[in-house]
């Protein structure tokens, strides 16, 4: 369908391009803006992060995948104090599930307080990351919404998710995308385990399972 006013349409399009306005996204994992994901970052990337040394990095690599940020924080707390952890979590974090994260998980997001935790919890269940942007945007500005988004995800419906959504999972590759899509529709999580285990390691199955729901 042609726009009713082609000149106006072209003008708006050029303005958006000039201002670098992002297009709507259906991805369910928050845009990371350079935030490292500890379950997939390689050794070289981890060693560049604040307060991580070779011993700590070795421990991360040996223990991952971590089930959640609380588990990772318990390990890191053996070597780093609260100030160091806060600085590290501006550069690295394990996404929290907006629909199931505990208060303890949410409070590990830098700058969180009791009021914002209540807002995170109030809008459950989240159906899309766009809903998170809209609801949290009632309380903070766009820049802060974008910062907070780096720390969260909304579970992805494995049977209906688009390629773009599936590829928003940290560490996703075209090979993983095919492995996820070929067996669809999935009837249950057990079938997911059986099918995906044919293509990836047991640790990788555990790592990516947390991002999915099967409906």
Q: For position 32, what pLDDT does the model report?
A: 78
Q: Is 113 exposed, middle or buried (0-12, 13-18, 19+ CB in 10 A)?
A: exposed
Residue 87 lies in a domain: yes
Question: What is the share, in percent, of the chain residues with pLDDT greater than 70?
Answer: 88
Query: At what angle are helices 69-76 and 54-63 packed, to 10 degrees?
Result: 150
Q: For position 2, what pLDDT does the model report?
A: 46
pTM equals: 0.84
Residue 145 lies in a domain: yes
In this prediction, residues 20-26 reach a mean pLDDT of: 39
Residues 148 and 166 in one domain: no
pLDDT for 177-214, tens place per residue? 999 999 999 999 999 999 999 999 999 999 999 999 99
Residues 178 and 207 in one domain: yes
Residues 62 and 138 in one domain: yes
Q: Is 47 helix (H, G, I), strand (E, B) or coil?
A: helix
Residues 141 and 90 in one domain: yes
In total, how many domains does the chain have? Answer: 2
Select the more confidently predicted residue: 139 or 19: 139
Angstrom distance (rounded) from CA 101 to CA 175:
29
pLDDT band at 20; cut points 50, 70, 90: very low
Segments forming the whole domain that contains residue 202: 156-213
pLDDT for 85-130, tens place per residue? 999 999 999 999 999 999 999 999 999 999 999 999 999 999 999 9
- Alpha-carbon dihedral 42, 102, 155, 34, rounded to 10 degrees: -30
Angstrom distance (rounded) from CA 21 to CA 200:
37
């Amino acid at each position: 369908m042609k726009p009713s006013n082609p000149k106006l349409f072209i003008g708006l399009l050029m303005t958006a391009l000039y201002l670098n306005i992002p297009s709507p996204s259906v991805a369910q994992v928050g845009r990371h803006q350079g935030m490292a994901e500890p379950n997939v970052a390689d050794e070289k990337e981890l060693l560049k992060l604040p307060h991580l040394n070779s011993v700590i990095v070795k421990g991360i690599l040996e223990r991952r995948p971590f089930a959640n940020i609380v588990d990772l924080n318990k390990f890191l707390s053996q070597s780093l104090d609260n100030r160091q952890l806060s600085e590290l979590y501006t550069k690295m974090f394990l996404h929290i599930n907006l629909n199931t994260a505990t208060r303890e998980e949410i409070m590990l997001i830098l700058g969180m307080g009791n009021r914002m935790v209540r807002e995170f919890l109030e809008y459950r269940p989240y159906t899309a990351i766009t809903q998170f942007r809209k609801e949290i945007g009632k309380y903070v500005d766009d820049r802060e919404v974008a910062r907070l988004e780096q720390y969260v995800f909304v579970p992805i419906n494995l049977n209906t998710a688009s390629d773009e959504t599936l590829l928003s999972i940290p560490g996703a590759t075209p090979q993983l995308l095919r492995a996820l899509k070929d067996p669809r529709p999935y009837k249950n999580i057990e079938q997911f385990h059986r099918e995906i285990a044919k293509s990836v390691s047991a640790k990788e199955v555990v790592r990516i399972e947390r991002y999915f729901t099967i409906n």
